[in-house]
Amino acid sequence: MNGPIGKWDIHPMHFWLRGTRPEQPVRYDEAIGMWHVYGYPEVLEILGDPGTFSSAVATRFVPPEQAAVAFDGNLTQADPPDHQKLRKLVGRTFTLKMVGELESRIAALTHELLDGIHGKRFDLAESLAYPLPVIVICDMLGLPRSDREQLKEWTDQSLLASTQLSTLAGDTALEESLDTQAEAAMELGFYLLEQVTDRRRRPREDLFSKLIEAEVDGERLTDRQIVNFGNLLISAGHITTTMLLGNTVLCLDAFPDVDERVRKDRSLVPGLLEESLRYLSPLAAGYRVTTRDVEIAGVRVPEGEVLEVWFSAANRDPRVFEDPDVFDPARSPNPQIGFGRGIHFCLGAPLARLEGRVAMNILFDRFPALRVDPDDRPAFLTSPEFTGVWRLPVRVD
């Protein structure tokens, strides 16, 4: 493939990032007891049919009683009709209007964070890509910024422990991974419960208070549901934006002609982000379980089987994307599914796009030259479910 991205140490399961195509759009993986789905039309079919392909897969990997506590209110694990009810309640507070009003704040934060950089070499993930979305989310929820490092520790603990899921019994590495993730989620959950309890006593002008007050058809969110949504927003919300920013800089470094082109024509910045979401999809994969026997791309998949649905591979499907290994910020059409599709389309997508657009424009303004440091390689996330960096050392000389 073009550029150096394929040479970096990205997870080996992301073989399409190295220019290798899946041999078929659907295949069974005996090593993990699950089905991989790689093709774009097949992924869309699955995302568009929650009745056949359920999102409630947690109980396949953790005990049902644990899943009931940990995922109540987590939109990613909910199926209709519960999903619609939760989405309506959360949507009453997490609105496009609210997101749009954050633009000037995001710009000010970006400048503030970049003002703290000294020297011509720094870690873009540590200096900007991580703290920017975390501060925005903390402010939205009304969490003290002084707690930012503790929040990072919990989310990092979960990410570092994340490994390839498997339905096969006796996978001790997976069991240890899930235990570590559960411990981090529990500690974060206790912290968020204290915040929710405080808002019930003393409401404020923040998202937690609005979630408590939200009502649809006489129903309100429980404390557990609010906590689990807050957990999802902190964990998944900031990770997506962090990886989007980092991945976009990686792509611009790999394709300097694109970097020059976008700097000259800032109207391409939104398209740049969409192409980044396609080319290096932050959420590489999601999971579904079949509720009946079904045929996908001519392959029969029995009821009760777990599917690993690869958004990142679908975004490289040559049946849909012409020259899929070419990075083009003006690609049109670009029906990338980096934020998912259907009822589970990412609720935070508008915020991630806004943060990405504002931050990239400011990076272009402040740094006429921004390159990955050739003497200090990026460090990538180890989980196959994500495509992104832990560290992104850059040079601005």
pLDDT at 216: 82
Tell me what pLDDT residue 195 has: 96
Q: SS3 of 358, please?
A: helix
As a whole number of angstroms, the distance between CA 101 and CA 174 comes to 42
pLDDT on residue 265: 98
Q: Which structural domains are found in the chain, ordered by start?
A: 5-68+76-368 (1.10.630.10)
Chain mean position to CA 19: 23
- pLDDT value at residue 1: 40
Question: Which regions of 184-340 does DSSP assign to beta strands (E)?
Answer: 285-290, 294-296, 299-301, 306-310
Per-residue model confidence (pLDDT) at position 96: 85
State phi, psi for 229 to the nearest 5 degrees: -70, -40
pLDDT in tens, the chain (397 residues): 445 676 777 888 899 988 889 999 999 999 999 999 999 999 999 999 999 999 999 888 777 777 777 788 888 889 999 999 899 988 888 888 888 899 999 999 999 999 999 999 999 999 999 999 989 999 999 999 889 888 888 887 776 656 667 777 666 766 676 677 777 778 888 999 999 999 999 999 999 999 999 988 888 999 999 999 998 888 877 788 999 999 999 999 999 999 999 999 999 999 999 999 999 999 999 999 999 999 999 999 999 999 999 999 999 999 999 999 999 999 999 999 999 999 999 989 999 999 999 999 999 999 999 999 999 989 998 888 999 998 999 999 7
Per-residue pLDDT at 392: 96
Whether residue 234 contacts residue 151, with contact meaning beta carbons closer than 8 Å, is answered with yes
Cα–Cα nearest to 250, from 382, 107, 393, 368 = 393
- Cα(237)–Cα(243) distance, rounded to whole angstroms? 10
State whether residue 250 is helix, strand or coil: helix
Cβ-in-10-Å burial (0-12, 13-18, 19+) of 12 comes to exposed
Distance CA 98, CA 93 (A): 8
Quote the CA–CA distance of 195 and 142 in Å, as a whole number. Answer: 9
150 token code pair: 């503790």
Closest C-alpha to 286, from 303, 306, 272, 267: 306
Give the residue carrying structure tokens 């832990």. 390
Q: Tell me what pLDDT residue 163 has.
A: 63
pLDDT of residue 2: 46
Spatial contact of 271 and 251, defined as CB atoms under 8 Å apart: no
d(CA 7, CA 17): 9
pLDDT score of 3: 52
